[in-house]
Structure 1
């Protein structure tokens, strides 16, 4: 990930056009027509192997029928497509690379193997998944022979001993690329970057409350891991939120640039007001009505009883005038 992350794939995003219900299908229908399980299809979309477009009617993203025809006409379909989206865990991945699971885990923690998915199992452990095709490519590259068979270099062993684990960060970088490919609006691209930062960082970078509110409209939905507030959900939240200081700095820089671009393209909407606009939220009571007024009714105290000081002075002045 780098400071210019937000700028890549903008041209590709511009080539995508809207679609109508008559010329596109849902993800479920597209997966069935392509002979993929839904998880495989979602990964194909994630990797950019199946193009999707926004729904003109305001629903979720859909798959154009001509895209289904293109994928089906590709050489080796459907076996080649299934092989491209095959994801494996640590045990199967180690077997594919002919290494122990311990060595496989070390390579992944060092950032040499990049996960494509993760989930939290019933034991509250994070399970990382990798593309089988990428693991096989890593194994066949002669430059990696020493890493697969030899002793791990001392410098790398020291980093591992200090707790280095680049799997979450590498997954976030990969996931951001997916979100940017799906974003077809400058505010959506800014929201994609913001989705990897915590709320405090976003507020620090985007100081305008109306722009923050607009960003929330485009915030991509996060995958559900357990019930809200559960340990599994909290663990997943830690993974999807950047924590490394340098990564946070890069994302902050990307977010600032993305919001500036979106602002030039289309400023965030603001309510029409005749005076100084208030930030989103409950309107403050005017100073003279700051004290709540109880409802009218048979048990409501008369207004005079709530202001005895003012009325007693008024009656006194009237008596003096009459006398």
Structure 2
């Protein structure tokens, strides 16, 4: 056998489940590590989703403190645990999260269809250790912040969308995929105002990622996730629209959206001189007998 034999692609990479086992991570920890860019993935050439290369697994396994350090970096906690990490009451932590001072990394819906936000424990420790944040962890909340909270400010969903968009853009492999990632956070009507051409809009929708959680289409849970996915603040919408318009222009220049081609219709064959285009069958009955001159 020749020494230049190329190994099949699937021997150089593995599925998410196999990679999670080799890295000592639970599947939800692995998915979060991919989401955060801690684990790099590549597209499957066979069209079966994304995979993790053996080189990437070896890189992670060679890191100092493997595998505890990797698992610790993706530890996600809810509000009660997060408050304990920062050594503040849960009510104060919730205020800090609503103000956007700490950002959720993911979420899920509990059995009552309430949104449960999760935060990276490592980020919370860093926030609490920063001396500049000491006044936010103890004492009275500044009046300006209290006024914003009283007005209904809640930046948790928006901050999550920012993280999620970063993940989608890292997975994108071209301008159409990047445009689809931006469109995923906009209302379809907003997208239609930018992608006015129906063929272009249809092509864009092919690259528009779905929601991160799996709920039955049309269910209350699906509608709730859709609201979380969709930009709501005017400045956020304006920023996404501007980026989408710019990225769509790049996508058009790179590869225009496909359009249906007109089907060619074969020309009719002209009738030869002295002959009619259609030969009529002799008619029977009285009218046919008269036309034949009354002959038998």
Instruction: Report the TM-score range of the alignment, normalised by the length of the smaller protein.
Output: 0.7 to 0.9
Matched, 1:268 2:257: yes
User: In structure 1, what is the equivalent of residue 128 of structure 2?
Assistant: 139
CA offsets 1:179-237 (integer angstroms, 9 cap, x no match): 00011111001100000011101101111111111111112232235322222221111
Structure 2 gaps, min length 5: 1-7, 265-296
Which structure 1 segments of 5+ residues have no match? 1-18, 276-323
Task: Quote the residue 1:81 is aligned against.
Answer: 70
Partner of 1:164: 153
Counterpart CA distance in 1 for 2:103 and 2:194 is 29
- State which drifts further: 225-234 or 22-31: 225-234
Which residue, 56, 64, 68 being the options, matches 1:67?
56
Residue in 2 aligned with 1:216?
A: 205
Report the equivalent of 1:194: 183
Structure 2 counterparts to residues 204-243 of structure 1, below 5 A: 204-243=193-232
- Pick the structure with greater CA Rg: 2
Match of 1:24 in 2: 13
- Give the alignment partner of residue 107 of structure 2, picking from 93, 118, 127: 118
TM-score (norm 2): 0.85
Q: Which residue of 2 aligns with 1:180?
A: 169
Q: Normalising by structure 1, what TM-score?
A: 0.78
In structure 2, distance between residues paired with 1:68 and 1:75: 14
| 95-104 vs 20-29, greater mean Cα deviation | 20-29
SS at match of 2:50: coil
Q: Identify the residue that residue 282 of structure 1 maps to in structure 2.
A: none
Equivalent in the alignment of 2:81: 92
Matched, 1:35 2:24: yes
